[in-house]
Amino acid sequence: MAIGSEVTGTPELDADALRKFEAALRGEVLRAGHPGYDPARALYNAMIDRHPALIVRCRESSDVLRALEFARSHHLLVAVRGGGHNVAGKALCDDGMVIDLSGMKRIQVDPAARTARAEAGLTWGEFDRETQEHGLATTGGFISTTGIAGLTLGGGLGWLMRKHGLACDNLRSVEIVTADGQVRTADATENPDLFWAVRGGGGNFGIVTSFEYRLHPVGQMLAGVVFFPLEQAEAALRFYRDLMTTAPDEVMAYAVFLTSPEGARMLAIPVCYVGPLESAEQILRPLRSHASVAADLVRPMTYREIQSMFDAGFPSGRLNYWKSSFLRELSDEGIATLVAHFTAVPSGFSAVAIEPFGGVVARVGREETAFAHRHARYSLVIVSMWTDPAESAANIRWTREFWNAMQPFFSEAVYVNYLDTDDADRVQAAYDPRTYRRLQLVKERYDPGNFFRVNQNIGPAL
């Protein structure tokens, strides 16, 4: 019998029960000592070093169900892993069980209906490969290695969002295993409260085994990066702000402070025009012909090229520390503060990214999904990355000082998927009070015991 009645502390698991559990699985169970254990507990962010008692690598939805039953009957804390990109390391726990979906990668595209049913272990790159075969795509993230699961459940910002909405706005339905061990469909008509909650409320309500997305025709686009020297970054950012204030939905342009491989600090404007090439040429011309441009790498690209052009800059396994908030606006003073602080960046791997909202994101009704901050102007994320643990303190200090200096320009709000390990008290800030209350009520209904709590946790209503 199971002895581990506590959810923390290494549980003593009955060997016989464990054997039976393993034998019933299509996938496998990894424990400390197994050669696959350490690779399986490695996450995108190398700051996270946790040791689960069991890692269950699921192959089928039935594995997920069995794992959940086993965890419940043995009182194990459960973490759920999709793509493993969450910077706060919410895909791992110490001592308990990780239900690892990263091996579940089936995807079925229906080109006529323009939909895709995708299992939760896919990354965006894997998803795009299949949908682009049919000239279709939906909103995924800025890079291709992030998991579709965590990104969609938190909302999902990306290249196509101003034209086609957030990743969660393109969801048609999910298959989800709830804490009571039931497999449910959640869509507009079946369990609509649950469907509302999983579109922004994160992994709080159950384990999503598959997502059904709406797809859009997406062909070659004019896209790439326009670089400005840091000395010209203030003027360039003011130009960027004016561009995005009047830009049509088709224009998606980030603003990213980064360091070139040669060591030059720069402002990059990664841009794409989600529409015909001819219109793109004209609309992007002012940006590309700005007097301060250091390099213009814009050209016709496929969506897969666009979505993977920054992959090399964000490899798995570096030390990461992030701080993020929404900007109220991009004021001249805010711009000057950004440039001044980036000048002192201690690591050449770090980046500071501004993501513009607007377009379709702002036109989806506030009550329609649990993604509350649709009317934000920009999200700002300070992504500190370095490789030597001896440099951790300096990089974390710089990130915090930068974020503190930007406070006058921030709203209270933040994007839930950018919260780091020390942001547990900011989960409410990812929602407005009304949305948060509604999420608590859905949590109360589907997970009253807060079984799913290794996430940006929303507790049940009291």
Sign of CA dihedral 17, 22, 28, 33: positive
The binding track of 35-74 with respect to ligand FAD, each residue x by CB under 6 A or -, is ---------x------------------------------
410 DSSP assignment: B
**Residue 272's closest CA among 247, 291, 293?**
247
Residues, the chain, total? Answer: 462
CB of 88 to ligand FAD, least distance (A): 8
| 3-class DSSP state of 37 | helix
Spatial distance between the Cα atoms of 316 and 312, rounded to a whole number of angstroms: 9
CB of 126 to ligand FAD, least distance (A): 12
Task: Mark the segment that binds ligand FAD (CB under 6 A) among 80-88, 270-278, 344-352, 435-443.
Answer: 80-88
State phi, psi for 415 to the nearest 5 degrees.
-85, 125
Residue 206 backbone zone (phi > 0: left; psi -120 to 50: alpha; other: beta) = left
460 DSSP assignment: P
The binding track of 368-407 with respect to ligand FAD, each residue x by CB under 6 A or -, is ----------------------------------------
Closer residue to ligand FAD in complex, CB, 140/239: 140
Kindly report the number of other CB atoms within 10 A of residue 432's CB atom: 15
Spatial distance between the Cα atoms of 41 and 373, rounded to a whole number of angstroms: 33
Closer residue to ligand FAD in complex, CB, 25/122: 122
CB of 160 to ligand FAD, least distance (A): 11
The binding track of 85-124 with respect to ligand FAD, each residue x by CB under 6 A or -, is xxx--xx---------x------------------x----
CB distance 334 to 249 below 8 Å = no
Closer residue to ligand FAD in complex, CB, 87/339: 87
Residues between 282 and 321 with contacts to ligand FAD, criterion CB under 6 A: 314
Burial of 60 (0-12, 13-18, 19+ CB in 10 A): middle
Spatial distance between the Cα atoms of 53 and 265, rounded to a whole number of angstroms: 44
CB of 68 to ligand FAD, least distance (A): 11
Kindly report the number of other CB atoms within 10 A of residue 141's CB atom: 26
455 binds ligand FAD, rule: CB under 6 A? yes
Task: Mark the segment that binds ligand FAD (CB under 6 A) among 128-136, 199-207, 262-270, 332-340.
Answer: 199-207
Sign of CA dihedral 337, 340, 346, 350: positive
Task: Mark the segment that binds ligand FAD (CB under 6 A) among 47-55, 84-92, 240-248, 286-294.
Answer: 84-92
CB of 460 to ligand FAD, least distance (A): 16
CB of 285 to ligand FAD, least distance (A): 26
- Which spans of this chain sit near ligand FAD (rule: CB under 6 A)? 44, 80-87, 90-91, 101, 120, 141-143, 146-147, 149-151, 153-154, 156-158, 202-203, 207-208, 314, 417, 454-455
